[in-house]
Amino acid sequence: MLNLFFYNLFFYNLYSFCIFLEINHKQVLMGKRLTLKDIAKEFNVSIATVSKAIQDKHDISSDLKKKILAYALENNYVPNQNALKLRGKQTKTIGVVIPSILNLFFAKVFAGIEKVASEHGYNLITCISNDSLDKEKIAIDMMVNGEVDGIIISVAKETQIKKDYKHFFKAMNTGVKLTMFDRVTDDVDCDKVIVDDFQGAYNATEYFVKTGCSNIALLSFISETSVGQYRIQGYKEALENNHITINKNLIIEVKEHDVDETETLLTLTLGSRKVDAILCLEETSAAIALDTIKRLGYKIPEDISIIAFTNGIITKYTTPKITTVSQHGVFMGEQSMTYLLNRLQGNHSQKEKEFTTKVIKTSLIQRQTTKKLS
């Protein structure tokens, strides 16, 4: 009753909150949470009864139930999640492992995952691998045991380079469901959601050709990743199919986001060869290219056209605005989470071991760095 009194004060008057704190000093400072046991003691009933009352089961006298429910509500009883998880099979938690969160594409995917997850009452445990194999391993190991029901991952660059996928096998072996997105690998058999990077690059390259370009360069920071490879393939194949010889000198690969290096290589290339279009494999390289090209005095898109991968935020605010290949990041996140959910809930139409690879089509968002189709 005393508790109840203070509870009311507490909710209607901030000042009394302090009094509350004073009175219950030890309890509050100890971080003691209300448990079924505490409630059972309060009402002189068994823990089982309290549990059932709180679950609003029918076989409890409605009188007792009401009292217990009211008390639990007032004292803000929340079941201990760990106890719940320990008993049940489901943790209602998903692990998310992404290379970076500062990259808007990954942030978008994350937002999509989070949206669907929270709609279904799932929590997210997040780890940023920073493209490091070690960090990815540690994260997965932590998540694997009892922490999560499933993991959504975009594989770290280092992992892809070293082709070391043991941690994924281990994880799947413990029964955790795995879904990969964007940066995936054929060596691991699981559900995957990828962007049609090949087709995206193919279409962009072909768009250049159709608008009269034939000396098409490619600028990339991410040649080591699976994604980068697919895009380069798409670029090459589009050239071939349009009877344009692939010129290795027009493929500019820079490691990491080295602005100076990019500018230097680009300036060199533009100075020594004819270039009338550049396909940039990421937003930032496109922004840097745009800046360099403007400084060198070329007209865009008349002299040089530009298309950038990833429809992020930069391309919308440059002058001129950059034409982009949109990867539909948020949608990818939603799809990844939906696939995982289906897998977890076993309502996958396919048989247990048949995994799906969902390919999301890119779309070309035409802005001001490309010529119009005639």
Partner DNA sequence: CTGAAAGCGCTTACAG
Closer CB to DNA, 49 or 205, in the complex: 49
CA distance 53 to 68: 7
Stretch in the footprint of DNA (CB under 7 A) among 72-80, 311-319, 321-329, 331-339: 72-80
Closer CB to its own copies, 63 or 317, in the complex: 317
In single-letter form, the type of residue at position 101 comes to: I
In the β-sheet with 363-365, what is the strand arrangement from edge to edge? Answer: 251-253, 216-220, 277-280, 305-309, 323-326, 363-365
User: What Cα–Cα distance (Å) separates residue 267 from each residue in 131, 177, 298?
Assistant: 29, 47, 12
Q: 110 touches which of DNA, its own copies, none (CB within 5 to 8 A by kind)?
A: its own copies
Residue 221 per-residue DSSP state = S
CA distance 179 to 355: 10
Residues 6+ apart with CB under 8 A from 75: 3, 7, 34, 39
In single-letter form, the type of residue at position 81 comes to: Q
Stretch in the footprint of DNA (CB under 7 A) among 29-37, 104-112, 129-137, 251-259: 29-37
- Among residues 163, 161, 145, 143, the alpha carbon closest in space to that of 153 is found at 143
Q: Is the distance from CB of 183 to CB of 131 less than 8 angstroms? A: no
Q: How far is the CB of 250 from its own copies (least distance, A)?
A: 24
* Binding-site member from 15, 56, 76, 271 for its own copies (CB under 8 A): 76
Stretch in the footprint of its own copies (CB under 8 A) among 120-128, 194-202, 230-238, 250-258: 120-128
Q: What residues from 131 to 150 belong to the interface with DNA (CB under 7 A)?
A: 145-146
Q: 348 touches which of its own copies, DNA, none (CB within 5 to 8 A by kind)?
A: none
Q: Is the link from the previous residue into 79 a cis peptide, with omega within 30 of 0? A: no
Q: 10 touches which of DNA, its own copies, none (CB within 5 to 8 A by kind)?
A: its own copies
Assess 162 for contact with its own copies (CB under 8 A).
no
User: What Cα–Cα distance (Å) separates residue 343 from each residue in 76, 190, 350?
Assistant: 34, 10, 10
Assess 69 for contact with DNA (CB under 7 A).
no
Q: 142 touches which of its own copies, DNA, none (CB within 5 to 8 A by kind)?
A: its own copies
* Per-position x/- string for 165-204, each x denoting binding to its own copies as judged by CB under 8 A, each - no binding: -x--xx--xxxx----------x-----------------
Q: What residues from 128 to 147 belong to the interface with its own copies (CB under 8 A)?
A: 128, 135, 138-139, 141-142, 144-147
Assess 176 for contact with DNA (CB under 7 A).
no
- Note the Cα 75 to chain centre separation in Å: 37
Q: Is the distance from CB of 303 to CB of 297 less than 8 angstroms? A: no
Q: 351 touches which of its own copies, DNA, none (CB within 5 to 8 A by kind)?
A: none
User: Between the CA atoms of 259, 261, 266 and 272, what dihedral angle is there, to the nearest 10 degrees?
Assistant: 160
Q: Which positions touch DNA (CB under 7 A)?
A: 33, 35-37, 44-49, 51-52, 54-55, 58-62, 64, 77, 79-80, 83-84, 86-87, 145-146
